[in-house]
Amino acid sequence: ILGMFLELKFPVPWGHVAAKAWGPSEGHPVLCLHGWLDNANTFDTLIPLLPRDCYYVAMDFSGHGLSSHRPAGSPYHFLDYVSDVRRVAAALQWRRFTLMGHSMGGAVAGMFCFLYPEMVDKLILLENLGFLLAPEDTEAWLKSKRVVIDRLLSLEAKQQTPKARSPKAALQRLLEANRHLTAEGGAILLQRGATETPAGLVYNRDMRVRTQSREYFTVEQCVKLLQKIQDRVLIIVAQDGLLVPHKLDTRNHFVKALREAFESTLKEHIQLVEVPGSHFVHLNEPEVVSGIISNFLTVQNTRARL
C-alpha cells in the first residue's frame, strides 16, 4: 500500500541523510527532492496517488528534516545538495533512476542531470525550471556571494539556541513564511520539520541553510545544457505559483525567456504543463498533478532507446 512508508538512514561523514520510502524496493526507482527549508513530507499526499510499481525515495537534504546538519563552520553550497543526491543514489546502488524535484529540489535535480546524465532516465520538475538563474548585474552577483559569508559569520557569532514554540505558533510561523501552504500542508511538513522538547516545538532545520551559496546560469547556458539532456522532462507550473510569466515582475524576464526556449527549441523531449494551484500544489491538491505525473512515469522512454 503506497500510504505506508519506511524510514531510511544513509551514513555520511558528518552523520546521516534521512529519507522515507514507499512501494516495492524492486520497482522502478524514483528519487524525490524537496524545496528549500521543506522536507521529505512534501511528497506525503502525492506519492500514494502515483503508480504502485515504482519505488519512491524522498530524502531530506542536509540541514533539513531529519538529516544531520553539516559540520560546524560549513556554509551550505548548492552543489553540496547535489552531492547529497549522489551519495543517496550510491547508497541505494541505483545506476539509473527518475528524479522528481519541487522548487529548490528541481534546481538540484536539474544540476544532477547535467553532471550525471547517464544516471537519469526521466526528470520531473514541480514549480521549477531546473535552474537557478544568474543576476544579470555583476555587482548583484558579487553582493550575493558576500552576503553568504557575512551571514554565516554573524550566525556563528550569535550562537543562538533554536527557539521553542507551541505547536500552534510553530504552524502559524510556517504559514506566515509560506503563503502558498495550506494549514493541512503546513502541519504535514511540521511533523518532520520540528522536534518536541519540554519547552515546545523546535524547528529541525539548520539556521545556516538560509545562507546558502548558489550556482547560477545565464539563459544561454541553460538552453545549451537542456539540449544535452537525452531523457524526457516534465515541467509542471502552477497558475498561482512562482513561475507564471504574466504575473512576474520585469526582473524575472529570464523565466519568460527560459519558457520560450522550452516551448520553441526543446519541444521534442520537454513537456511543459500549467495547472491550477499554488507553489505547493503537489502537497495541497495532489490530485491536480498526480494524473499528469503518473502518465509521464508510465510512458516508455522511446527517445532513450534510439
Q: One digit per residue, pLDDT tens: the chain, 306 residues?
A: 556 899 999 999 999 999 999 999 999 999 999 999 999 999 999 999 999 999 999 999 999 999 999 999 888 989 999 999 999 999 999 999 999 999 999 999 989 988 898 999 999 999 988 776 666 678 888 888 898 899 999 999 988 788 999 999 999 999 999 999 999 999 999 999 999 999 999 999 999 998 877 777 777 777 777 766 656 889 899 999 987 755 555 446 666 777 776 666 666 678 889 999 999 999 999 999 999 999 999 987 544 432
Would you call 29 helix, strand, or coil by DSSP? strand
Domain positions in the chain: 6-137+213-298
Treating both helix axes as pointing N-terminal to C-terminal, what angle do 104-115 and 78-92 enclose, rounded to 10 degrees? Answer: 70
Contacts by residues 189-193 (CB-CB < 8 Å, ≥ 24 positions apart): 189/38, 189/39, 189/41, 189/42, 189/283, 191/41, 192/39, 192/40, 192/41, 192/60, 192/65, 192/66, 193/38, 193/39, 193/41, 193/64, 193/65
Separation of alpha carbons 131 and 220, rounded Å: 12
- For the question of residue 103 being annotated catalytic, the response is yes
Evaluate whether 278 touches 103 at the Cβ level (below 8 Å).
Answer: no
User: Which CATH number among 3.30.450.40, 3.40.50.1820, 3.10.20.30, 3.30.420.10 corresponds to the domain 6-137+213-298?
Assistant: 3.40.50.1820
Beta-sheet pairing, 232-240 with 15-22: unpaired
Separation of alpha carbons 297 and 28, rounded Å: 9
Evaluate whether 134 touches 252 at the Cβ level (below 8 Å).
Answer: no
Give the pTM: 0.91
Would you call 170 helix, strand, or coil by DSSP? helix
Separation of alpha carbons 3 and 6, rounded Å: 10
Separation of alpha carbons 218 and 163, rounded Å: 39
Q: Which three cell numbers stand for residue 181?
A: 501552504
Closest CA to 27 of 58, 59, 56: 56
Catalytic hit among 103, 166, 278, 290: 103
What distances in angstroms separate CA 148 from CA 104, 155, 291, one per listed residue?
17, 11, 40
Evaluate whether 233 touches 271 at the Cβ level (below 8 Å).
Answer: yes
